[in-house]
Amino acid sequence: MIKYEPVHIQKWLLPFSWLYGLIVYIRNKFFDWGILKHEEFDIPVICIGNLTIGGTGKTPHTEYLIQILKDKYKVGVLSRGYKRKSKGFVLADSNSTSFDLGDESFQIKHKFPDIIVAVDRNRRRGIKKMLALDNPPEIILLDDAFQHRYVKPSYTIILSDYNRPVYEDALLPAGRMREPFSALSKANMIVVTKCPADLQPIDYRIISHDINAFPFQELYFTQFKYKQLQPLFKDEATEKPLNYLNGKNILLVTGIASPKMILKKLSQYTEKVSTIKYSDHYNFKSKDIKYISNKFRNITSENKLILVTEKDAMRLIARDDIDDDIKKSIYYLPIEVSFLDKQEDFKAKIYKHIRENFYRKTDKKK
């Protein structure tokens, strides 16, 4: 049976949530009535978004789409570049850093250097600039753009965290929802993410019943799998298998929405885990590096390492204030999306949509 904890709603903030909901409703109606204008494009534009703030796994699912599409099409990825230091439209290149792109976009470019990655808070302008390139993308993936209605995507995938079901949540600020539950009706696909591997048939039925997807919508269930341990600084250390963690003293440093998933994974290998937690997308400062280094050096065992998430690694890799003796001890754990069922069906639906929209674009040019 379903094992997630009850969703905590700050009930005293519900009056403010009702006011927030009214503002969201009016804004959406302005788009529906044509008072605020959206724009469509002649190539497939796939939006990967959610109804809540943070933590559903948009970037890993965007990476999964890149993986299945990049050998067939010229793929472009556009996001706002959350917490970057740059302004306006920025096209990623080999010299880009997380300060230019934000950690998530930099992570994508780091893993897939041959695709087009750009950031722009104004998605409509960003798409136009990408299409104006000498070798423009044939497909654009919009990372976290469901609320950006100035662009009308050709296909929309909405993610929902298994551990915080959208049908039990509330609008901001009482809950974590940016859009009401009814906004799920705009999705072509709904993906329940971060599912446990042992999800039972009755769990599928309960979640499917509560989400109550429309007949035209597809519902999928995914989990995250950890890959091999990667050294943050490849000149200092080498890739290690997961069982390298066995019995290690681990200093876990996180700047993500919730470290629960990685802590659960580490518990399979060792009980000796100390944690330093920062806020999501935290920009590490020199004083943080010193604090982390000192805490690590104070661990008396020689059988130790510093572990960070892949997203945190993207913000640490460009720093020049990490001592050499610390560099060789920092590793990160990449994650990848794994479907619990219907993976081939998911791929088929995506390929079908792209074929139909890609050839329609080609026909317009004839």
pLDDT in tens, 210-219: 999 999 999 9
In this model, does residue 352 exceed pLDDT 80?
Answer: yes
**Region 32-49 average pLDDT:** 95
pLDDT score for 155? 97
Instruction: Please give the CATH number for the structural domain made up of 11-73+138-225+338-365.
Output: 3.40.50
Total Cβ atoms within 10 A of residue 319? 15
* Lowest mean pLDDT across 34-43, 71-80, 215-224, 234-243: 234-243
Token representation of residue 43:
């190539």
> Is pLDDT at 327 greater than 80 in this prediction?
yes
pLDDT digits (tens, 9 = 90+) for 188-206: 999 999 999 889 999 999 9
CATH 3.30.160, domain 228-333, yes or no: no
* Residue 365 scores a pLDDT above 50: no
Section 269-290 average pLDDT: 93
The residues of the chain that CATH labels 3.40.50 are 11-73+138-225+338-365, 228-333
Q: What is the pLDDT of residue 318?
A: 82
Q: How far is CA 79 from CA 127, 167, 298, 323, in A?
A: 10, 27, 40, 33
How far apart CA 51 and CA 184 sit, in angstroms, is: 8
> What's the Cα-to-Cα distance from 129 to each of 76, 88, 105, 118, 357, rounded to whole Å?
11, 11, 17, 9, 20
- Tell me what pLDDT residue 366 has: 40
Question: Is a pLDDT exceeding 70 seen at residue 335?
Answer: yes
Banded model confidence at residue 41, pLDDT cuts 50, 70, 90:
very high
